[in-house]
Copies of this chain bind each other. A is one copy, B any other.
Amino acid sequence: MTTSRETIRINEKRFLEDFSRLTRDGATPEGGLNRPALSEAHLAARATFRNMIQERGFSVREDTAGNLSACHTLPETGKPVLLLGSHLDSVANGGRFDGALGVAAAFEVLQVMRDNGADSEMPVEVIDFTDEEGTWVSLLGSRAMSGQLTQKDLTNPRGDPEAFQQALERAGLSISGLLDAARPADSLQAYLELHIEQGTRLERSETDIGVVTGMVGIHMFLITFLGQSNHAGTTPMNKRRDAALGAAEFCLMVQKTVMDNYPDCVATVGRMDFSPGAFNIVANRVTVFMELRSEDPTRAGALEQALRETSLNTSAKFGLKVDFQHLESVAERKMAPTIVEHFESSVDLLGLSSRRLPSLAGHDAQSMATLCPAGLIFVPSAGGFSHSFREYTPWEACVEGANVLLHTAMQLLKPSE
């Protein structure tokens, strides 16, 4: 690299064209993206990315977890790789920016570094991770690469195990391949990712870049209220033990408890299952699907305890029993402090503003953090919309984020002086 490297910027036009091309497969009429991992639309998007890699003269690398990369030099050179990337899959009926923007930005960074005379052995790799969104298994590709995947994760996918098997076959993948995709820690220098915030902290504070300090822990619970099934016509209202009432009051109390006493946490009731679930039978069993998130495990534990007490009070009030079951947690994860500082110095160099913040969503960077120093930046999300066709980030903000990614990558690749 030359001494004028501080003035290097990404190519806005090429970046926009590449982003447009990477968000064409699975586009919905409303302007969103519908490409759940390993669906036909998702596989089409991967084929598009593969073509782009080859057209631009980079090497294609695909591992046995389906992670798809563009490499300036093949990994055989042996140098630890600087990995940049994100994911091309979406939730069902998601938006265009979640994932695809990060892949497009990383690919643009790779191109602009080559344009500016990086030597032929520049160990940079741009990756699209498999199933970040967890259509089948959350953070599937990055967990496979970082060796965190277990047989159990793969035999209990979300959705039908048989459908998962068929989806893997459609993509030319296999369970054994997924379990065999771990890379050694010393093969990676660092991992950097750009993503949309999916919230409004940056927008409200008019900040250009969010430098992520870590991911919140995510804690999932199944809370089952147990009453007595009975005839909906003949059972007097005051003689019922109606599980619906316990579940309904608990749902309202979850929101109230968080808003009143845990403003640093979020909690959501995303589903309730009624049994037997008929117009004319008082429900004897309602299962509430709840998750809570906090960057502080102590606070998460306190909120869980408060909600356990709430569930007991609510069930007593309606003559019910309750079973409060912890289902699964994803631990909070810190980003590497050195990378946080590199991001901030790039922000300064570019004359932008930034703030440190936790990520309230999971990202591939948290898998990679177990393997190498990892870092993540956010660009603002207009209105905070996420997992929706309303997802939107102004293009200037995307360009600013890509430039921060570029300069941070260049700092990390600079021979230590």
Interface of A with B (CB < 8 Å)? 91-92, 197-200, 216, 218, 220, 228-239, 242, 244-245, 247-249, 251-252, 255, 258-259, 263, 266-272, 274, 276-283, 289-291, 293, 360-362, 381, 384-388
Q: Can you list 5 A-B pairs with a CB-CB distance of less than 8 A? A: A236-B266, A237-B255, A238-B259, A242-B268, A279-B290
| In the complex, chain B residues whose CB is within 8 Å of the CB of A270 | 232, 244, 274, 276-283
A234 CB contact (under 8 Å) in B198, B272, B278, B280: B198
B236–A384 touching, CB < 8 Å: yes
| In the complex, chain B residues whose CB is within 8 Å of the CB of A236 | 199-200, 266, 384
Besides A232-B291, A238-B259, A242-B268, 9 new A-B residue pairs in contact (Cβ under 8 A), listed by A number: A197-B234, A235-B386, A237-B258, A237-B259, A239-B384, A249-B252, A270-B277, A270-B283, A279-B290
- Residue of B at shortest CB range from A276? B92
A277–B271 touching, CB < 8 Å: yes
- Residue of B at shortest CB range from A291? B279
Roughly how many angstroms separate A289 CA and B273 CA in the complex, as a whole number? 13
A248–B237 touching, CB < 8 Å: no
Q: Top 7 nearest A-B pairs by Cβ distance?
A: A198-B234, A232-B268, A199-B234, A231-B386, A233-B360, A248-B251, A248-B248
| In the complex, chain B residues whose CB is within 8 Å of the CB of A228 | 388
| In the complex, chain B residues whose CB is within 8 Å of the CB of A276 | 92, 270
For A198, A247, A274, A279, which residue has the most chain B Cβ atoms within 10 angstroms?
A: A279
For A92, A229, A234, A258, which residue has the most chain B Cβ atoms within 10 angstroms?
A: A234
Roughly how many angstroms separate A256 CA and B351 CA in the complex, as a whole number? 59
A218–B197 touching, CB < 8 Å: no
Roughly how many angstroms separate A247 CA and B239 CA in the complex, as a whole number? 23
Roughly how many angstroms separate A384 CA and B238 CA in the complex, as a whole number? 12
Roughly how many angstroms separate A258 CA and B236 CA in the complex, as a whole number? 11
B245–A252 touching, CB < 8 Å: yes
B384–A234 touching, CB < 8 Å: yes
Roughly how many angstroms separate A199 CA and B229 CA in the complex, as a whole number? 13
A281 CB contact (under 8 Å) in B197, B200, B290, B387: B387
CB distance from A307 to the nearest CB of B (A): 14
Roughly how many angstroms separate A197 CA and B233 CA in the complex, as a whole number? 11
| In the complex, chain B residues whose CB is within 8 Å of the CB of A269 | 244, 248, 283
Roughly how many angstroms separate A271 CA and B376 CA in the complex, as a whole number? 42
- Residue of B at shortest CB range from A221? B279
For A231, A282, A384, which residue has the most chain B Cβ atoms within 10 angstroms?
A: A231
A230–B266 touching, CB < 8 Å: no
A266–B237 touching, CB < 8 Å: yes
A255–B272 touching, CB < 8 Å: no
A268 CB contact (under 8 Å) in B268, B282, B386: B282
B231–A387 touching, CB < 8 Å: yes
CB distance from A330 to the nearest CB of B (A): 10
CB distance from A358 to the nearest CB of B (A): 10
| In the complex, chain B residues whose CB is within 8 Å of the CB of A274 | 270-272
A266 CB contact (under 8 Å) in B220, B232, B247: B232
B218–A233 touching, CB < 8 Å: yes
| In the complex, chain B residues whose CB is within 8 Å of the CB of A233 | 198, 216, 218, 266, 293, 360-362
Roughly how many angstroms separate A245 CA and B198 CA in the complex, as a whole number? 22
A279 CB contact (under 8 Å) in B198, B232, B259, B271: B271
Roughly how many angstroms separate A255 CA and B247 CA in the complex, as a whole number? 13
B279–A230 touching, CB < 8 Å: no
| In the complex, chain B residues whose CB is within 8 Å of the CB of A385 | 230
CB distance from A332 to the nearest CB of B (A): 12
